Chains A and B, each alone.
Chain A
Amino acid sequence: MVKRYTSLAYKAADDMIFGKSVYPVKAELGLEVGAGYVTAEVNYAPRPEAGVSKEKLVSEYRRLTTDIMARAVQIGFPAVSLETEHVEQMTNNPDWGGEIAHVQKTILEEYHEEYGIKCGLRHTPGDIRENRDLLALIGDKYDVLMESFEAVADAGADFLSIETMGGKEVLDYAILRNDIPGLVYSIGCLGSIDMTMIWEDIRKIADKKGRIAAGDTDCSQANTAMFIAGGLLDKNLAHTIAIIARAISAPRTLAGYEAGAQGPGKDCGYENTIVKAITGCPIAQEGKTSTCAHADVMGNLVMQCCDLWSNESVEYHGEFGGTSVQCWSESLNYDAAMLNVATETGNAKMLRDILVLSDKYRDPQGYVLAYDNAYKVAESIAKDGDDLYLRAKNAAIACCDILNDADSKKLVMSKFEINALNDAKAALDAMTDESETFMSESVEKYKAEVAVFRPDDNYKF
């Protein structure tokens, strides 16, 4: 039985800052995360043709890792962390991921030994727990996934992460129908149940191998909502609905920490500021320097409390300024240098607030995720921390309340966004306060409406 969070790690929102966390973590080659400085976390994807064989993939990662480290020492950066998000071949064949982790760690060790540069390596196996038509969260695929974690931990990956997909089969249905109870159920309940199961096992592997069970992100659900929502003029999802999904994702990502994760949380978890307020664990974030991967509407704001600063992902290829990983790692490192100067000169809170104010009123999503409001969402989660349903519902309601209380002269929402928000709030107000009632009614409702939802096969209720 995991212990749920019922209080916050920070006494006040203003105590939260980039580069510092209550509980820093330390990697093997000198890198500490959340210990007073921000470090770049470089992400990358192999070229499409590299996936055809193990040899080609290993070679691809050897080249790009060397490129990143060479650029780091050429420009004089004191630390760097790398994240390898597996392509499916690397997780389905645990020895592939293991060999790549070994090759990468060996290169990091060589640079650490020669230059003293502090290094970290995160490996993120893919969530392969799916069959052709259905999620398969429990069973043979789960066993292969755990073998993959063992292999990369054995080979030297400091930080173990994953982007789990529990609840996604219902989310994909609910998000396209503005179904707010469906978001609470898929993200807040099903996602948290799956997170609790898998992170207990990842922590066991990390402890056995002397590695760090880092953290998860609700990429498969809240980011799906955010990307469907898109930019200001896109018409695929109201941004007020996207931020409600994001708020609900915070208690879901929190469940990973309750089951054993220690941070740094995954970069694309835009919910991480809320989570950090509760756990005090370090987080990775991405924003203005991840435009190689996607656009968001809060690129500066999301730096506010980061401990690692990431570019999300970039395909490995040539650019005018070097290879893509060199260019983006350089930009990340310059960002980190700026943040660290602010810390060293006593201006960290000033810079944090400048970053926040440059985006806070750009969009409802940034408004709610600004650290002062994120802290309020965190409080609502901890209030009913022991109840997965209630804390998810609380987060959604807190999100609506923050937007409804917003200074309308500063955060100006469209009529469409306001209508969607009002509809969502009405739906939330109509929801029961009884967890058991909600869970039993939801399982029947979505079994009837979502053909691929197989609760008995996938969730340990």
Chain B
Amino acid sequence: MDIDPSKILVRYNVAKEKAQTPEEMAAELYPTAEPARTICAAIFDGEEDDVIEGLEKAIEGGADPVALIDDVLMVGMKITTDLYDQGVIFLPNVMMSADAMLEGIEYCKEQGGAAPKPKGKVVCHVAEGDVHDIGKSIVAALLRAAGYEVVDLGRDVPVDEVIAAVKKESPMMLTGTALMTTTMYAFKEVNDRLLESGIKIPFQCGGGAVNQDFVTQYELGVYGEEAADAPKMADSIVAGKGLAQLKEQFHKH
């Protein structure tokens, strides 16, 4: 027994696929000047060695290593993340590009002895009692790729430690991820302890069992349905949006 599946299902991903390849689309976005074009292509391809080689040439040619971070590395990364946001490329491409970009940034910092100012600082953690951290790792990578400084507290982070880190680092946003229904309950305690301390920063929560209904139960909570929402939320904060506006933007259900 077999069927013609065309009346049973629709492969919308195939139907909506763009005619251009991702590589062709990226090539249209690279800067025209060299070595920026080659470095951006190497970031898009996730080729760490080629990124460093390009940077070496640029510095030999007189480029300021610190300026290269903003003017070339971040530009190349933005091409990658923009194409990801447009649904042209997939997450592993972004992760490999981020690895290459971060290696490039380290190299530039070593060469220049300084680093450019990040767009903002975000503290990331996985809820106490929860060791599932791949979601947090993706969030942290996407935030770094978007130019934010990330203080990664790791997984199974006690509430006390989260509060202490927020007090010490004064981030613009806190993120929390959890897989389990019982561990995500720690988010409420984090919220209460932050409020007790007079701290009112957006607390982006997401992952596994976390849902919008739960996150709306505490004042600072903003639900992040996708890991890719994290840099978008940070950008909105930089643009001046407050808690109510963030909830309006990201609470989609």
Contacts and interface: CB of A to CB of B under 8 A. Distances in A.
Interface residues of A, number: 44
B181 A177 contact: no
Interface stretch (A75-83, A333-341, A413-421): A413-421
Interface string B153-193: 01110000000000000000000000011111100000000
A48 B214 contact: yes
B182 A46 contact: yes
A45 B1 contact: no
Contact of B185 (A48, A88, A232): A48
B180 A87 contact: yes
Contact of B5 (A45, A49, A52, A410): A410
Contact of B21 (A52, A132, A172, A415): A415
A233 B182 contact: no
B17 A88 contact: no
Most chain A beta-carbon neighbours within 10 Å: one of B9, B133, B184:
B9
Given A46-B181, A48-B182, A130-B131, A232 B92 contact: no
A66 interface: no
B199 interface: no
Contact of B90 (A89, A130, A237): A237
From A178, A414, A416, name the one whose CB has the most chain B CB atoms within 10 angstroms.
A416
Nearest to A407: B2
A120 B76 CA distance: 57
A132 B181 contact: no
A305 to B, nearest CB: 16
B138 A176 contact: yes
A360 B5 contact: yes
Interface residues on B, range: 35 or more
Interface string A52-73: 1000000000000000000000
Nearest to B98: A176
Given A48-B181, A50-B182, A315-B209, A178 B92 contact: yes
A412 interface: yes
Contact of A357 (B3, B91, B96): B3
A237 B17 contact: no
Contact of B180 (A88, A178, A238, A357): A88
A51 interface: yes
Contact of A235 (B84, B95, B99, B129): B84
Interface of B: 1-5, 8-9, 11-14, 16-17, 21-22, 84, 87-92, 95-96, 99, 129, 131, 133-134, 137-138, 154-156, 180-185, 209, 214
29 contacts: A46-B182, A47-B181, A48-B185, A50-B182, A52-B185, A87-B182, A88-B182, A130-B131, A132-B155, A176-B95, A176-B137, A176-B138, A177-B92, A177-B99, A178-B92, A228-B91, A233-B12, A233-B13, A233-B87, A237-B90, A315-B209, A350-B1, A357-B3, A358-B8, A362-B5, A362-B11, A410-B5, A412-B11, A416-B13
